[in-house]
Copies of this chain bind each other. A is one copy, B any other.
């Protein structure tokens, strides 16, 4: 039996643009890749009444999230001919304008990377036990709800 290897997807704080560049750069040696698809979630400064969202404080049930992410990863690799898949989600306070989710898929031809990336984003939002608390400019807060 293959060992079940849980990979950590969580990072403390926002995902810097340099991390994304570094991740892209690492794939230059994988010359069987023809297409990369990347999704980035960025925190919006939504208007809430006369306040704005200053940032989102993310918490997660990390153990369960990594178990669930393992399942999702296996299902996506089984469904699409992917070369690589990388997922990063922020925990803690992420200011408006910063990146909180980074999904990165690579494949030989473009369709697989694109469709896998879309499906990953949908499943991450729907199935991972992560909660966002929107912190408003007056320091009040409300719990984010995914549509």
Q: Does A11 lie at the interface of the complex (its beta carbon under 8 Å from any beta carbon of B)? A: no
Assess whether B17 is in contact with A31, with CB atoms less than 8 Å apart. no
A56 to chain B, nearest CB (A): 11
Q: Does A71 lie at the interface of the complex (its beta carbon under 8 Å from any beta carbon of B)? A: no
Interface size class of A (residues with CB under 8 A): 35 or more
Copies of the polypeptide in the assembly: 2
Assess whether A44 is in contact with B25, with CB atoms less than 8 Å apart. no
Per-residue B-contact encoding for A14-35, CB less than 8 Å = 1, 0 else: 0001101110110111111111
A33 and B42 in contact (CB under 8 A), knowing A17-B22, A21-B17?
yes
CA–CA, A37 to B101, complex, Å?
12
Q: Does A98 lie at the interface of the complex (its beta carbon under 8 Å from any beta carbon of B)? A: yes
Return the contact of A35 from the options B21, B42, B106, B109 (Cβ within 8 A): B42
Q: Which residue of B lies closest to A24 (CB)?
A: B17
Q: Does A114 lie at the interface of the complex (its beta carbon under 8 Å from any beta carbon of B)? A: yes
Chain B residues with Cβ below 8 Å from A106 are 42
| Residues of A in contact with B (beta carbons under 8 Å apart) | 17-18, 20-22, 24-25, 27-45, 96-99, 106, 108-110, 114, 117-118, 121, 147
